Amino acid sequence: MNPLQRRRKRGVILTPQGFQKLQTAKCQAQSWENLDKRYTLEDLSDRTGLDPDTLMKVFHCQVGVDKQTLNTCFRAFNLLLEPSDYQLPRTDEVISNQHSIQNLTDWGEAPDISAFLGRTAELTTLKHWILKEHCRVVTLFGMDGMGKTSLSVKLAEQIQDKFEFVIWRSLRNAPSVKDMLADLIQILSEGQENNLPKTLDGRISQLIHYLKNARCLLILDNLETILQDASGKYNIGYYR
């Protein structure tokens, strides 16, 4: 078949106005109907009748879906889909520069990097791994003083609008694993989790639940600190 004879339909995506309208209605429903608890993808799937993968496309506004799908989402929140609420997908470059996800950021003890210069190649590689190849875990290795911490902060600043949550934490003082989990769960639940599990396994499961249901960027600096034993030697695979 001549590729010029038929072009694959790309569907439509939400405009910033349409995204804001749907997001506002979702937040209001969470407040009024779900006791301020954040809807999971499973909750939204039950409400709309759409599968989680399709819902992720709708809310990330990067991959086109058919207009009926957007209609279904809007009707689930008693909204009317209007022509100003959707548009044709744009090129990756335009999306990257113009579309942002509303997010919550917590920089913790991240250092000031106002004087940061260079590292262009490293930043380009890291952004490609995370945004294009969707790597779930990236580790920065290097000798002390090479600027790994500043590089991680600069990277987070440049891609923060692609995530719902951005959390930067230093582990220099080796916090206990239960305290660290509690901290992360409180942020990801937006302060809604008041009864944290007492057990370590319970808190890990709860953290995984939140990480599976939101687009999160979690940066842990000085990770080697929590992998050292009393003699200062690394004990990879075991939390200090």
| Predicted confidence (pLDDT) per residue in 188-234, tens digit | 887 777 778 888 888 888 888 888 878 899 998 888 777 766 565 66
CA distance 101 to 103: 6
Determine if the pTM surpasses 0.75: no
Question: DSSP letters along 152-189, please?
Answer: HHHHHHHHGGG-SEEEEEE-TT---HHHHHHHHHHHHT
Question: DSSP letters along 77-93, please?
Answer: TT----GGGEE----HH
CA distance 6 to 13: 21
- Per residue in 83-138, pLDDT (tens digit) is 999 988 865 444 444 444 557 888 887 877 777 778 788 888 888 888 888 888 88
pLDDT value at residue 172: 82
pLDDT value at residue 237: 59
Start-to-end Cα distance in the chain: 61
pLDDT value at residue 91: 54
For the cut 90, the answer to whether the pLDDT of residue 20 exceeds it is no
* Residue 21 pLDDT class (50, 70, 90 cuts): confident
* Residue 8 pLDDT class (50, 70, 90 cuts): very low
What is the three-class DSSP state of 12?
A: strand
* Residue 70 pLDDT class (50, 70, 90 cuts): very high
pLDDT value at residue 78: 93
pLDDT value at residue 98: 43
**Dmax (CA) of the chain:** 70
CA distance 213 to 31: 18
* Residue 55 pLDDT class (50, 70, 90 cuts): confident
pLDDT value at residue 79: 93
* H-assigned helices in the chain: 16-33, 41-48, 52-60, 67-76, 92-98, 120-127, 148-159, 177-188, 200-212
For tokens 């038929």, name the residue. Answer: 6
CA distance 30 to 60: 19
pLDDT value at residue 130: 86
CA distance 210 to 109: 23
